[in-house]
Every structure is written in structure tokens, then in C-alpha cells.
Structure 1
Amino acid sequence: MNPILHRLFRTIVRDGSLTVIDAAGEQNIYGDGTGPGYAIRFTDTSTERALVGNPELTLGEAYMNGLWVVEEGDLTSLLVMLIKNFESSGSSRLSRAMRRIMRRWHQHNTARVARRNAKSHYDVGNDIYRLFLDEDWQYSCAYFPHFDMSLESAQLAKKRHIAAKMLLDEGQTVLDIGCGWGGMGLYLAKNTGAKVTGITLADNQVAYANERAANEPNAKFRVQDYRAVTETFDRIVSVGMFEHVGVGYYDEYFQTVARVLKDDGVMLLHSIGRTDVPGSTNPFIERYIFPGGYIPALSEVLPAVERAGLIVTDVEILRLHYAETLKHWLARFTEHREEVLKLRDETFLRMWEFYLAGSEASFRAGDMMVFQMQLAKKIDTVPLTRDYITSAERSLASRDAGHMTPPALVARHG
């Protein structure tokens, strides 16, 4: 084995047990032997050299290209073990510091670049997404009141939870920033009587969303950058889009929100965040999965909210909910591997396996979480306590089951 890589493994892997088999068949064991054992095998000597120079990029890149394989254990659990060791070794702090220097360059998300980045991810085709998403095509963190729920139930619970925080009345106008395939917007239109306008930068998403909305007059979807919106709205919701804004554009984002949100309006922002200090995007994710993407720390978001003149009226942190969501997605993706291979090649399959497994591992062992932030312009826009959220969720659950159809979900100032 490359001697520098051998020292790197010995330095990083202190807890657990990892057997590494190099391309010549030589075996080395790292860790203290505790916990389940894992084994990987390199199929090419060039990978050993590349890992020394840029381990965070090369690990995913080489897996994608079949240059290392898992011989013992499963990919997600292996990555959890590696992340835990990497975080405790101190190596992560240096690599993140170096990447932070370049992050504004990598997140130069002008309207033109943002559209190009969106197309690079979502233009892989709806046929891929239908293989692992729930029946409503929710491509964001589900909400698990308990972890033995199905993915469909947890995604429905997510939509209810978000709708409950929006204080919706029938006939109010809603802007859905980053509407995806329309699931959230259609849920709000059908279950609250709101008039929803959804925007996204992905053509295939808008096409499918409008197809689904053919018989729903209160929902419409269009390709548009959030900065180009000219109307004003009673409510704004954004689920899983803020991660694509870029750290250099937070002021522009929240200033746009303040401009298009009515004076008595409410916004609900649902986004992945960091529990730690500001960082940088994993280089494999940035290059192959989400170019221009960045997961913010709350310390980066809140100053931009304040500068826009908006008031934070509620924040909730969802821990491990996305890890469970990703576990479901990876299981479904793996179950359909033969269908994936008919649509794409082995490299794509392994790239997305690593993306989904690595993301789940990051939510289990890294500094990833999801936050839901409620914003308003006036301090008395929302109720004084959070009791209304549970009340509204119960009303929505009854409505989902067809038991009631009240025009308003909650008292305005309960």
C-alpha cells in the first residue's frame, strides 16, 4: 500500500475496525477492533495515490468508478464509521478551512448559473426519481413523529407540519419557492383552499407539476428564478431550495422575500443546516450532485434575515429525520438497481449510491440537521404560543381522512 495512505488511515481510523486490501492483495487493519468489522478493496493502485491528495473527493469519485468496493459491511455504516473518525481526528477542520476560502467562487449563483445548476441535477430525468421517492415525489426531508412510519406517511406528516405553521386561510395567495414536482403546492391548494404559485428552475419539474395540477384551479407552476418574481403574496413557503441559493446570495434572497411578502404575511423556510460553525460543501457533492449548493449554519442565515427587516417568529430543528428519509430512498433505489441500469450506466448507479449513503451517514454522524424557520414582518402576525401548530395538524389530518372541511385551519391569534 502507498505508505502515505497507510499513515493517513492509521491516523484517522482510531475507533472501530477497518480492513483495507490494496490492489496487490496486501491487507492492513486499522482501528481498535471495537464494533462491527468493515473491509474495502482497491481495484487500482492509482486510487491509493489520489486518496492522499484529496481524500474527500476521491473517496466518492473512486467508488463511483468502481475503483474501490465494499467487501464486508454495508456502505452507509462504513461511511458513518469513517465520518466519526474523521471528525474526531482534527483533519476535517483543516480541509474545511481550505475549502471555505473558495466557497464564494463555487457558489457564484447568478440567475443564469442557478438555472444551469438546477438542470444538471434534475435533468437526470423523472424516470430516475420515481424509482425512489414517495408517491407524491417529495424530494426533501420527511417528518417522522416516530421512525416506524412508512415514507409516504412521513412525507404527508411533513406537509401537514409545514402547512400548520403557515396559518393559512382559504383564498390566501402562496408562493412556493423551489416547488419541485408540485406536491407541496398541490397539498396546500387542495387542503387549505389557498391559491398557490410554484416556481422552480427545472423544466421537467414544472411540466409534471402542471400535469398533476390539470384539475386543480388553485395551483399553477412556472419556470422562474425567485429574484424575478413581481407579485406579492400572503404566504411564502420554500422546502429544500435554500440549499441552492449560495452563501453570497442570502441578502438578496431574504430581501426578495421581504419585497414579495405582504405586510401581514408569513413565510416558512425548510432547509438543511449545520449544527456546527460555517463550513463548505463536500467536494464530491459539489462536483457531481449539487453544483453551487451549500448547507448553511444558522449563524450565516440569521444576520441576512435581520438585514432584510424580517422577524424570526419560530425555529424548529429536525434531528435524524433526514437520515431516516435517506435510508428509505437508498433502500428503494437499491431495490430498483436493474431499472436504474436500464436507464443509466453502472457509473451513474454507483455515483447515486454513494450520494444517498454518504448523505445519510452525514446526518447520522456529521453536523447536518434540518431547520424550519418561520418569518414575518410584524411581531404580532402569529399566535403567542405554539399550540396552534398541533391544533392545525389535527385539523389537517382529519381533512386528509375526509372527515371535515373547515374554511380556516386555526384562529388567527389563538
Structure 2
Amino acid sequence: MIDKAIYKQILKTSFDAPIDVEFWDGETVHFGEGESIAKIIMHELIPIKEIVAHASLTFGEAYMDGKIEIQGDLQELVTLAYRSQDSFFNNSKFSKLIPKHSHSEKVSKNDVQSHYDIGNDFYEMWLDKTMTYSCAYFASESDTLEAAQMNKVRHILNKLHAQEGETLLDIGCGWGTLLFTAAKEYGLKATGVTLSQQQYDFVSDKIKAEGLTGQVNVYLEDYRELKEQYDHVTSVGMFEHVGKENLAAYFSKIDQLLVENGTALIHGITGQHKGAGVDAWINKYIFPGGYIPNLAENIDHIMDAHLQVDDLEPLRRHYQKTLEIWTDNFHDVSESVISRYGERFYRMWDLYLQACAASFESGNIDVVQYLLTKGASSTNLPMTRSYIYHADVASGVK
């Protein structure tokens, strides 16, 4: 059979470790030398032309639908596929479809709500108590996820060199942990903006419950509509949603939202190599309209916006560890997720979490914190980076 012969050619070079593959007709083939690290079971033939057209989307849907089973470590298997230069995920002749996507304010709102408004109760199942859905910061290997998420928030605020009484805007504020920490621990007047109705309701209720009305504000609004200026701007896990065509406007808007000599801390997934920036499966099922810019793209846009770079910190290993903990947490509540959302939904999110961990583990993607200033670099910051680490220790980031 032609399809099976081509599959064998592809699989022979797609992984940097030995694997077993059981084909739809029952034949099992061992690829590589030594003991297999995993077994791929193909329950039915998936036309090779679909793999050639868009490997990520085809593989993802097949896994969701149970057409493909993985016995062994799924994250390790995907990591190996990313690391192999001849993998069907990496080889240019197996091109990905990159659909054009509108990022109007209406479409952006629908995209965000399709992901974040699954329900607060869904995210509460497997996130930590801070309800933080972005890369944590592990000051030590023994940090719990909750401690590491608080480390991340304090690390961000410490980098800003924020002072009591100053104002802060958090673009894409999530469930508000950064806002409440900024207000309660740093004495800032903090404002958040989100397009998620569920996140907005959650933060609004917490503002009232904690007696922070007037010191913490939240708006259900597109950041592009904001007019007021702030001493500091943060944006954590946000620019991945704005789209390639809007990145220039995003950084330009940050410049507009900052007072002169203000500081911004932008934290987001970034490619450290040039590539497509879009994964067809994730774009269709997880993050509609998502785009991962590379480092050069972001730096170009930062310079065009007349912002200056004070510090860049890659956190790739931190996001890998974060995702691995989320995966363990997600597996712990598998029965609840399946009973509420179904087997296909569970397999979709399981693949998403493990594939993302594999992407970070392999170096396919990174996450970078960009410390930016409006005006001459470091005008309002101490002369050396030591202020960050001294403040980290003082605030409990050890």
C-alpha cells in the first residue's frame, strides 16, 4: 500500500529515539535502535495527503477522535518530533496552513471568550489557587505552583521598580492576581482590562469582597480603546492573541498608554527562531487568531514604537515546568473533565498541554519578559539589575 510505505519513510526520520508504530492493519514496526520510548497506534488509515497538507491539524484531530493512541510519554514523543530536523512537524515540504484571521475588536473579543469563557470552574479544576494561567517563575525546584506564580507576579512588579501611589495598567488581566498583589503589597492604584466576561465578573466581585474599590479597577474593554496614561503597564500572555498584523499597533499603544519615562513589562511566548508563528491545530481548537512572534519581530516593533529595551529574560524552562504541573493537575481531574465536557474535549486539552510543554522543552518556542521604558533607557531605574534581585528577596522570591 502506497500510504503505508510513505508513512514508514516519514516515521523513520521523524523521531530522535526508537519508537514502535502499530498500523491500521495490525502490522507493528520498530523504528530506530534500542528499546522503544513510546508506541503509536494508528487505528485507521489517515490519508498521507492530509499529513502533507497540514501535519499539526491532522495529527491533533486524529488524537482527539481516538484514531491515534499513544502508549508512553506523549510529551517526550512530541519533543522528539520537534527536535528532529526531518520530522513531519518541521520539514518545510510538510507545510502548515496559516489562515488569515481578522483581529477587529469584535473578532478579538469572540476569540478571547471562546477560550477563557469555557468557565471559571473549568480552570479552577487544574490551576492553582491564584488562578494564574501563564508561565510561573520557579526560584527553586521545590517551589509549589502557587508559590511560583506569586514569584512571577512579584518578579514583574520588582522589575518595574514600582513605587507606592503610582498607577499600573494590566492589559489582559486574567483573574486579577497581578492587580491585587500590586495594590495590596506595593500600594499601587491598579487597573485591569480584559475581554473575558467571566474574568471580568470574577475580578469585579473580588474587588468588592476585598474592599479595594477605588484602588483596583477592571474594565471589560478592548485595550485599544483606552485613553488614560499610567506610570507602568504590564501585559502577561497577551501579545500572542493580537495577531501578526496588529503587533506594531500593540506596542505603539503601550507607548501611548505610558507616561514619559514610564516602564512596561511585557511577558509573552516568543520564538527564538524564524518560523510560521501559527500552529493550525491550536489556531482552530485552542486559541483562534493566535500568533507567536519571533524575537526579531518584537524588537523591530518595540523600536518602531520608540520604546527602549532595558532587560530581556527568557523563561523557557519555567514554562515547561509550569505546563508539566498543569498536565499532572489535569490528569488528576480527568474523570470530572470527561463527565462534564466529554472524552474528545479532554483529549484535546491533554494534547494541548503536553504538546506545549514539548514545544518549550525542545526549544521550539520560548517565553520572554521584555522590560521597556518610554524615553531614555533606565532613566527611572537603578543603574544595575541588582535592584531586581534585592527586591525579589525582600518580597519573598527566593
Amino acid at match of 1:110: S
Amino acid at match of 2:164: E
Q: Which residue of 1 aligns with 2:115?
A: 121
Q: Which residue of 1 aligns with 2:7?
A: 5
**Residue 109 of structure 1 pairs with residue 67 of structure 2:** no
Cα distance in structure 1, aligned partners of 2:93 and 2:387:
44
Q: Which residue of 2 aligns with 1:157?
A: 151
Q: Which residue of 2 aligns with 1:392?
A: 391
Cα distance in structure 2, aligned partners of 1:141 and 1:377:
25
Amino acid at match of 1:168: A
Matches of residues 161-176 of structure 1 in structure 2 within 5 Å? 161-176=155-170
CA contact (8 A) 1:4 1:52 kept: no
Find the partner of 2:316 among 306, 316, 319.
319
Cα distance in structure 2, aligned partners of 1:198 and 1:12:
44
Q: Which residue of 1 aligns with 2:51?
A: 51
Cα distance in structure 1, aligned partners of 2:300 and 2:240:
17
Matches of residues 57-76 of structure 1 in structure 2 within 5 Å? 57-71=57-71, 73-76=72-75
**Residue 272 of structure 1 pairs with residue 269 of structure 2:** yes
Cα distance in structure 1, aligned partners of 2:48 and 2:299:
42
Runs (5+) with no aligned partner, structure 1: 401-414
Q: Which residue of 1 aligns with 2:132?
A: 138
Cα distance in structure 1, aligned partners of 2:194 and 2:105:
12
Cα distance in structure 1, aligned partners of 2:61 and 2:41:
15
**Residue 78 of structure 1 pairs with residue 80 of structure 2:** no
**Residue 335 of structure 1 pairs with residue 332 of structure 2:** yes
Cα distance in structure 2, aligned partners of 1:88 and 1:311:
39
Q: Which residue of 2 aligns with 1:410?
A: none
Amino acid at match of 2:17: G
Cα distance in structure 1, aligned partners of 2:373 and 2:91:
36
How far does residue 281 in structure 1 lie from its aligned partner after superposition? 1.2
Amino acid at match of 1:45: L
- Provide Cα deviations, 1:148-205, integer angstroms capped at 9, x if missing partner: 3211111111111111011111111111000001111111111111011100111001
Cα distance in structure 2, aligned partners of 1:302 and 1:157:
26
**Residue 297 of structure 1 pairs with residue 304 of structure 2:** no
Secondary structure of residue in 2 paired with 1:131: helix
Secondary structure of residue in 2 paired with 1:130: helix
Q: Which residue of 2 aligns with 1:191?
A: 185
Q: Which residue of 1 aligns with 2:23?
A: 22
How far does residue 53 in structure 1 lie from its aligned partner after superposition? 4.1
Matches of residues 214-363 of structure 1 in structure 2 within 5 Å? 214=208, 215=210, 216-217=212-213, 218-363=215-360
Cα distance in structure 1, aligned partners of 2:104 and 2:333:
36
How far does residue 284 in structure 1 lie from its aligned partner after superposition? 0.9
Cα distance in structure 2, aligned partners of 1:46 and 1:89:
17
CA contact (8 A) 1:17 1:30 kept: yes
- Provide Cα deviations, 1:353-404, integer angstroms capped at 9, x if missing partner: 0000000001001421111111111221222210110121123229x9xxxx
Cα distance in structure 1, aligned partners of 2:274 and 2:115:
27
- Provide Cα deviations, 1:5-57, integer angstroms capped at 9, x if missing partner: 222112323x31111111221111212336x5211111222466643543221
Cα distance in structure 2, aligned partners of 1:318 and 1:75:
23
Structure-2-length-normalised TM-score: 0.93
Find the partner of 1:374 among 352, 371, 375.
371
Secondary structure of residue in 1 paired with 2:382: coil
Once the two structures are aligned, what percentage of the paired residues are identical? 36
How far does residue 258 in structure 1 lie from its aligned partner after superposition? 1.2
How far does residue 83 in structure 1 lie from its aligned partner after superposition? 1.9
Amino acid at match of 1:62: A
How many residue pairs get matched?
391
Amino acid at match of 1:304: H
Structure-1-length-normalised TM-score: 0.90
Amino acid at match of 1:159: V
Secondary structure of residue in 2 paired with 1:94: coil
Cα distance in structure 2, aligned partners of 1:144 and 1:342:
33
CA contact (8 A) 2:75 2:354 kept: yes
Runs (5+) with no aligned partner, structure 2: none
**Pair 1:248–1:176, CA change in 2 (3 A):** same
Cα distance in structure 1, aligned partners of 2:220 and 2:182:
19
